[in-house]
Chains A and B, each alone.
Chain A
Amino acid sequence: RKEVEQDPGPFNVPEGATVAFNCTYSNSASQSFFWYRQDCRKEPKLLMSVYSSGNEDGRFTAQLNRASQYISLLIRDSKLSDSATYLCVVNSGGYQKVTFGTGTKLQVIP
Protein backbone atom coordinates (compact mmCIF):
# COMPACT_ATOMS: atom_id res chain seq x y z
CA ARG A 1 0.00 0.00 0.00
CA LYS A 2 1.33 3.45 -0.90
CA GLU A 3 2.08 5.85 1.93
CA VAL A 4 -0.24 8.49 0.52
CA GLU A 5 -2.94 7.69 -2.03
CA GLN A 6 -5.16 9.93 -4.09
CA ASP A 7 -7.59 9.44 -6.95
CA PRO A 8 -5.69 10.92 -9.91
CA GLY A 9 -8.89 12.07 -11.60
CA PRO A 10 -9.36 14.09 -13.68
CA PHE A 11 -12.38 15.60 -12.03
CA ASN A 12 -14.21 17.67 -14.63
CA VAL A 13 -16.74 19.96 -12.95
CA PRO A 14 -18.76 22.97 -14.13
CA GLU A 15 -18.17 26.41 -12.72
CA GLY A 16 -20.01 26.93 -9.48
CA ALA A 17 -20.02 23.26 -8.56
CA THR A 18 -18.82 21.77 -5.29
CA VAL A 19 -16.13 19.14 -5.53
CA ALA A 20 -14.41 17.01 -2.90
CA PHE A 21 -11.17 15.08 -2.92
CA ASN A 22 -10.02 12.44 -0.48
CA CYS A 23 -6.55 11.28 0.37
CA THR A 24 -5.66 8.21 2.43
CA TYR A 25 -2.42 7.70 4.32
CA SER A 26 -0.93 4.51 5.68
CA ASN A 27 1.18 5.67 8.63
CA SER A 28 -1.01 5.98 11.68
CA ALA A 29 1.75 7.96 13.42
CA SER A 30 1.53 10.83 10.89
CA GLN A 31 0.81 14.15 12.54
CA SER A 32 1.10 16.81 9.84
CA PHE A 33 -1.17 17.10 6.85
CA PHE A 34 -1.27 19.60 4.03
CA TRP A 35 -2.92 20.32 0.71
CA TYR A 36 -0.70 21.80 -1.99
CA ARG A 37 -1.79 23.06 -5.36
CA GLN A 38 0.31 22.67 -8.50
CA ASP A 39 -0.54 24.39 -11.75
CA CYS A 40 0.64 22.87 -15.02
CA ARG A 41 4.42 23.18 -15.36
CA LYS A 42 4.64 25.25 -12.19
CA GLU A 43 5.91 24.59 -8.70
CA PRO A 44 3.70 23.28 -5.87
CA LYS A 45 2.31 25.91 -3.49
CA LEU A 46 0.73 25.43 -0.10
CA LEU A 47 -3.05 25.68 -0.26
CA MET A 48 -3.75 24.92 3.38
CA SER A 49 -2.65 22.94 6.37
CA VAL A 50 -5.11 20.42 7.76
CA TYR A 51 -5.86 20.58 11.47
CA SER A 52 -7.48 17.96 13.67
CA SER A 53 -10.56 20.10 14.16
CA GLY A 54 -10.89 20.83 10.47
CA ASN A 55 -10.32 24.23 8.96
CA GLU A 56 -11.83 26.53 6.39
CA ASP A 57 -10.30 29.19 4.18
CA GLY A 58 -12.87 30.94 2.04
CA ARG A 59 -14.28 28.41 -0.41
CA PHE A 60 -11.91 25.69 0.75
CA THR A 61 -12.51 23.32 3.66
CA ALA A 62 -10.07 20.66 4.84
CA GLN A 63 -10.87 17.85 7.24
CA LEU A 64 -8.94 15.08 8.93
CA ASN A 65 -10.32 11.68 9.91
CA ARG A 66 -7.69 9.93 12.01
CA ALA A 67 -9.76 6.82 12.63
CA SER A 68 -10.04 6.09 8.93
CA GLN A 69 -6.72 7.72 8.08
CA TYR A 70 -7.83 10.11 5.42
CA ILE A 71 -7.96 13.82 4.79
CA SER A 72 -10.35 15.63 2.53
CA LEU A 73 -10.54 18.88 0.61
CA LEU A 74 -13.85 20.47 -0.30
CA ILE A 75 -14.01 23.27 -2.84
CA ARG A 76 -17.26 25.20 -3.06
CA ASP A 77 -18.38 27.45 -5.92
CA SER A 78 -15.59 26.25 -8.22
CA LYS A 79 -13.84 28.85 -10.36
CA LEU A 80 -12.01 28.35 -13.63
CA SER A 81 -8.86 29.40 -11.79
CA ASP A 82 -9.22 26.41 -9.45
CA SER A 83 -8.14 24.13 -12.31
CA ALA A 84 -4.92 22.52 -11.11
CA THR A 85 -3.52 19.39 -9.54
CA TYR A 86 -4.12 19.10 -5.80
CA LEU A 87 -1.41 17.28 -3.88
CA CYS A 88 -2.00 15.68 -0.51
CA VAL A 89 1.10 15.87 1.70
CA VAL A 90 1.71 13.92 4.91
CA ASN A 91 4.71 13.82 7.19
CA SER A 92 6.66 10.59 7.25
CA GLY A 93 9.66 9.39 9.19
CA GLY A 94 8.95 11.72 12.05
CA TYR A 95 8.80 15.37 11.12
CA GLN A 96 11.96 15.44 9.02
CA LYS A 97 10.28 14.74 5.74
CA VAL A 98 6.95 14.65 4.01
CA THR A 99 5.46 12.38 1.36
CA PHE A 100 3.46 13.73 -1.56
CA GLY A 101 0.45 11.93 -2.93
CA THR A 102 0.21 11.47 -6.68
CA GLY A 103 -2.20 14.37 -6.92
CA THR A 104 -5.78 14.81 -8.09
CA LYS A 105 -6.31 16.78 -11.25
CA LEU A 106 -9.24 19.20 -11.27
CA GLN A 107 -10.57 20.80 -14.43
CA VAL A 108 -13.30 23.41 -13.97
CA ILE A 109 -15.32 23.83 -17.13
CA PRO A 110 -17.13 27.04 -18.21
Chain B
Amino acid sequence: DTEVTQTPKHLVMGMTNKKSLKCEQHMGHRAMYWYKQKAKKPPELMFVYSYEKLSINESVPSRFSPECPNSSLLNLHLHALQPEDSALYLCASSQGEFAGVGELFFGEGSRLTVL
Protein backbone atom coordinates (compact mmCIF):
# COMPACT_ATOMS: atom_id res chain seq x y z
CA ASP B 1 0.00 0.00 0.00
CA THR B 2 1.17 3.51 -0.83
CA GLU B 3 2.25 5.72 2.08
CA VAL B 4 0.88 8.80 0.36
CA THR B 5 -2.88 8.96 0.73
CA GLN B 6 -5.09 10.90 -1.66
CA THR B 7 -8.78 11.66 -1.38
CA PRO B 8 -11.12 11.43 -3.08
CA LYS B 9 -10.16 8.62 -5.47
CA HIS B 10 -12.77 9.78 -7.96
CA LEU B 11 -14.38 13.18 -8.42
CA VAL B 12 -16.94 14.41 -10.91
CA MET B 13 -17.62 18.13 -10.97
CA GLY B 14 -19.29 20.74 -13.08
CA MET B 15 -17.51 23.74 -14.49
CA THR B 16 -18.99 26.05 -11.86
CA ASN B 17 -18.23 23.86 -8.86
CA LYS B 18 -15.55 24.35 -6.22
CA LYS B 19 -13.87 21.23 -4.93
CA SER B 20 -10.61 20.20 -3.29
CA LEU B 21 -8.21 17.31 -3.62
CA LYS B 22 -6.35 16.24 -0.51
CA CYS B 23 -3.04 14.50 0.02
CA GLU B 24 -1.39 13.29 3.19
CA GLN B 25 1.96 11.71 4.00
CA HIS B 26 3.38 10.71 7.37
CA MET B 27 6.89 9.82 6.27
CA GLY B 28 8.36 13.15 7.39
CA HIS B 29 9.14 14.07 3.82
CA ARG B 30 10.23 17.64 3.13
CA ALA B 31 8.81 18.15 -0.32
CA MET B 32 5.39 17.49 -1.79
CA TYR B 33 4.25 17.68 -5.38
CA TRP B 34 1.16 17.83 -7.55
CA TYR B 35 1.30 16.16 -10.95
CA LYS B 36 -1.33 15.94 -13.66
CA GLN B 37 -1.51 12.88 -15.89
CA LYS B 38 -3.67 12.52 -18.98
CA ALA B 39 -4.34 9.11 -20.49
CA LYS B 40 -1.30 7.53 -22.17
CA LYS B 41 0.84 10.54 -21.25
CA PRO B 42 3.53 10.95 -18.61
CA PRO B 43 2.93 12.85 -15.36
CA GLU B 44 3.37 16.60 -15.76
CA LEU B 45 4.57 18.67 -12.84
CA MET B 46 2.18 21.34 -11.57
CA PHE B 47 3.46 22.50 -8.18
CA VAL B 48 6.23 21.79 -5.70
CA TYR B 49 6.18 22.62 -2.01
CA SER B 50 9.46 22.48 -0.17
CA TYR B 51 9.41 22.91 3.61
CA GLU B 52 5.77 23.99 3.30
CA LYS B 53 6.59 26.83 0.92
CA LEU B 54 5.65 26.91 -2.74
CA SER B 55 8.91 26.57 -4.63
CA ILE B 56 7.74 25.74 -8.14
CA ASN B 57 4.59 26.66 -10.06
CA GLU B 58 4.77 25.37 -13.61
CA SER B 59 2.63 28.19 -15.00
CA VAL B 60 -0.53 26.43 -13.91
CA PRO B 61 -3.82 28.32 -14.52
CA SER B 62 -5.19 30.09 -11.47
CA ARG B 63 -8.27 27.85 -11.44
CA PHE B 64 -5.90 25.41 -9.68
CA SER B 65 -4.85 26.68 -6.26
CA PRO B 66 -2.45 24.67 -4.10
CA GLU B 67 -2.22 24.86 -0.34
CA CYS B 68 0.14 23.26 2.15
CA PRO B 69 -1.38 23.63 5.64
CA ASN B 70 1.48 21.71 7.27
CA SER B 71 4.34 19.41 6.43
CA SER B 72 2.07 16.37 6.09
CA LEU B 73 -0.80 17.82 4.10
CA LEU B 74 -1.18 19.14 0.59
CA ASN B 75 -4.40 20.36 -0.96
CA LEU B 76 -5.35 21.33 -4.48
CA HIS B 77 -8.36 23.64 -4.67
CA LEU B 78 -10.31 23.51 -7.90
CA HIS B 79 -12.61 26.21 -9.23
CA ALA B 80 -14.19 26.91 -12.62
CA LEU B 81 -12.43 24.01 -14.28
CA GLN B 82 -12.73 23.12 -17.94
CA PRO B 83 -13.50 19.67 -19.42
CA GLU B 84 -9.89 19.50 -20.67
CA ASP B 85 -8.78 19.53 -17.01
CA SER B 86 -10.16 16.01 -16.64
CA ALA B 87 -7.19 13.85 -15.71
CA LEU B 88 -5.54 11.83 -12.97
CA TYR B 89 -4.06 14.14 -10.34
CA LEU B 90 -1.14 12.59 -8.55
CA CYS B 91 0.36 13.76 -5.30
CA ALA B 92 3.94 12.80 -4.49
CA SER B 93 6.46 13.38 -1.76
CA SER B 94 10.22 13.10 -1.45
CA GLN B 95 12.43 12.80 1.59
CA GLY B 96 14.78 15.48 0.38
CA GLU B 97 13.69 18.85 -0.84
CA PHE B 98 14.77 18.11 -4.39
CA ALA B 99 12.96 15.70 -6.70
CA GLY B 100 16.10 15.04 -8.67
CA VAL B 101 17.99 13.51 -5.78
CA GLY B 102 15.92 10.60 -4.60
CA GLU B 103 12.72 8.64 -4.92
CA LEU B 104 9.33 10.20 -5.49
CA PHE B 105 6.57 8.44 -3.58
CA PHE B 106 3.25 8.76 -5.34
CA GLY B 107 -0.27 8.45 -4.05
CA GLU B 108 -2.80 6.43 -6.01
CA GLY B 109 -4.21 9.60 -7.51
CA SER B 110 -7.53 11.36 -7.74
CA ARG B 111 -9.31 10.77 -11.03
CA LEU B 112 -11.12 13.97 -11.94
CA THR B 113 -13.88 14.34 -14.51
CA VAL B 114 -15.12 17.81 -15.38
CA LEU B 115 -18.51 17.93 -17.07
A: which residues have CB within 8 A of B? 31-32, 34, 36, 42-46, 49, 87, 91-92, 94-98, 100-103
Q: Count B-side interface residues using an 8 Å CB cutoff.
A: 20
Decide if the interface of chain A is mainly helix, strand, loop or mixed. Answer: strand
- The residue from B41, B43, B100, B101 contacting A44, defined by CB atoms under 8 A apart: B43
* Closest Cβ neighbor of B106 among chain A residues: A43
Chain B CB count within 10 A is highest, among A44, A45, A46, for: A44
**10 more A-B residue pairs beyond the given contacts A44-B90, A95-B101, A97-B45, with a C-beta to C-beta distance below 8 A:** A34-B103, A43-B2, A43-B90, A43-B107, A44-B43, A95-B99, A96-B99, A97-B48, A98-B104, A100-B44
Q: Which of B41, B42, B100 contacts A97 (CB 8 A)?
A: B100
User: Is B55 located at the chain interface by the 8 A CB criterion?
Assistant: yes
Judge whether A100 and B101 touch: CB under 8 Å: no
Complex Cα spacing A36 to B103, Å: 10
Whether B42 lies near A91 (C-beta < 8 A) is no
- Which A residues lie within 8 Å of B98 (CB)? 94-96
A44 pairs with B106, CB closer than 8 A: yes
One of A31, A45, A101, A103 near B100 (C-beta < 8 A): A31
